[in-house]
Amino acid sequence: MSDRGHDDFDKSVPVMSRTCKRTQEVKDLQAALAQAHEERAQLQDENAELQGLFDHQHTRMGEATKLWQQATGHPHSLPDLGRLLEWLVDEARKWASRYGSCSEKVERLKRDLDDAYQQRDEMGTAEQAIADVERYQRDRAEKADADLLECRSALAQMSQGRKLTVDERNTDPGARSEL
């Protein structure tokens, strides 16, 4: 019996070996299939991107053709692609020479605007300084007028022969009104 069991074992080895090989083949095929699906998805994405690019180019070509037809006065003819591109380049050069570089103009306008804001701020500061000086001069003029009035009042009192004290000059309304 022991020999017979051993013989049965030897016969099963090739069957197991074939099963293991087939299992590995199935795994390899499954991996290859997964890779094929991944490549297919990548190709579909690439195709969609290229189709979008083609559609965009077709739209732009139609727009450029319409512009060319209007500019040349040939509404029913289609330009050669080379001539169309040459015409577009010439138009771009005309615009660039006529209007200069837009980015340079924008930068110049930004600098001019910054300068204008700075000048406005400086003017505001100068206006405030002028207002402060005017207020100071007005206050000084009012004080000088008050001092002059006081002096005239004192002179008028002195000419009448009577000398007022400082307190009388500050409180006597008649002394001020006599001037």
DSSP the chain: -HHHHHHHHHHHHHHHHHHHHHHHHHHHHHHHHHHHHHHHHHHHHHHHHHHHHHHHHHHHHHHHHHHHHHHHT-TT----HHHHHHHHHHHHHHHHHHH--HHHHHHHHHHHHHHHHHHHHHHHHHHHHHHHHHHHHHHHHHHHHHHHHHHHHHHHHHHTT-PPPHHHHHH-HHHHHT-
Q: What is the pLDDT along the chain (179 residues), one digit of tens a residue?
A: 445 555 555 555 555 566 777 888 888 899 999 999 999 999 999 999 999 999 999 999 999 999 989 998 989 988 888 988 899 899 888 887 777 666 777 788 788 888 887 887 777 777 888 888 888 888 888 888 888 888 878 777 777 765 556 665 566 555 544 44
Domain limits, the chain: 1-100
Q: Tell me, what's the pLDDT at 161?
A: 64
pTM of this structure = 0.39
pLDDT in tens, 2-17: 455 555 555 555 555 6
